[in-house]
Amino acid sequence: MTTTAILASTTLVAVAAAVYFFLRERKSRSNLTQSEEDSKKREASQAQVIHTTKLASLGQMVAGVAHEINTPLGFVKSNVEVVSDLLSEYEAAVTKVMTGVDLLLTLDASMVDRAKAAIQKARIELAKATSLQEARELLTDSAEGLKQMSSLVLNLKGFARVDRDGMDSIDLNDSVRSALTIAGHQLRDRITVVEQLGNLPKVKCMPSQINQVFLNMITNASQAMGDEGTLTIRSVAKPSFVEVSFEDTGSGIPDDVLPKIFDPFFTTKPVGEGTGLGLSIVHKIIQGHGGAIRVKSQVGKGTTFFVELPLAQSTLAKAA
């Protein structure tokens, strides 16, 4: 074979190889682009579901708060109506006494005894109408009901942090108490709550997100215990972080399920009763704060979640 033929053959092979590698790289890039697009679509879809889940949780929370407010509001309304009736009765009794007195002033001596008898009768009726004392008691109860509503509204405001945004230094015990107040309607007459809250240094975090985490922990524990149980919440300061734990006496989590509980969309609830995003969102929030969340569980005995938040904040919390 001549040198020219060899060169031509070599050039042809090189061109073919170049075309082959070009087409393969182009296909690889195309596949990569498609994969990136699919990934973006999947992330967008997950973000939408997470947003919808948050709205649903907010709706449940608002419904619970409305129930909590409605109870004291109901007896305040009832008390005000009763006080109004009692004051009307008292006013009528006083009017009778005053009418007798006015009559007495206009009578001659022969009519005095009859007027006295009328006044005495009116005084007896007035004595029976212990309206003012009862009214005071009802108004005291009403003031207590209004105090409860005011406390609930303040807790709700603090829970949602509607007057501020971003990072803040807070006592996590305050977040625990706030979440317990918001979740009160789920726990009352069913779940015994034991608070073992230690003295804590303040932690820099996004309060509304941490409140959401604690509310989710309390709600999950409540659901796991069914008709009755005990929820023990502990807080303790460690050398480099603060730990808040939520221990329930529920049914526990099986070993084969435990590794999956933080996976997005994983749920053991019946279809239509859960999206499987609650713990996934919690996990994301805690990670965004540079913290960690652990769980230990025993079937038939209960589950404990441990939430750890660092004292020295090195990373900014990312919006969940």
Helix (H), strand (E), coil (C) string for the chain: CCHHHHHHHHHHHHHHHHHHHHHHHHHHHHHHHHHHHHHHHHHHHHHHHHHHHHHHHHHHHHHHHHHHHHHHHHHHHHHHHHHHHHHHHHHHHHHHHHHHHHHHHHCCHHHHHHHHHHHHHHHHHHHHCCHHHHHHHHHHHHHHHHHHHHHHHHHHHHHHCCCCCCCEEECHHHHHHHHHHHCHHHHCCCEEEEEEECCCCCEEECHHHHHHHHHHHHHHHHHHHCCCEEEEEEEEECCCEEEEEEEECCCCCCCCCHHHCCCCCCCCCCCCCCCCCHHHHHHHHHHHCCCEEEEEEECCCEEEEEEEEECCCCCCCCCC
Q: What pLDDT is recorded for position 162? A: 46
Q: What pLDDT is recorded for position 81? A: 77
Q: What pLDDT is recorded for position 302? A: 93
pLDDT category at 315 given cuts 50, 70, 90 is very low
**Domains annotated on the chain, with CATH:** 1-160 (1.20.120), 166-310 (3.30.565.10)
% pLDDT > 90, the chain: 21
Q: What pLDDT is recorded for position 82? A: 75
pLDDT at 196 over 90: yes
pLDDT tens digit sequence for 42-85: 666 555 555 555 555 555 566 666 666 777 777 777 777 777 77
Higher pLDDT, 2 or 114: 114
State how far the Cα of 17 lies from the Cα of 14, in Å rounded to an integer: 5
Q: Which of 29-43, 57-71, 162-176 has the highest mean pLDDT?
A: 162-176
State how far the Cα of 225 lies from the Cα of 223, in Å rounded to an integer: 6
The verdict on pTM exceeding 0.75 is no
pLDDT at 270 over 50: no
Q: What integer is the mean pLDDT of 102-121?
A: 67
Out of 17-31, 183-197, 277-291, least confident range: 17-31
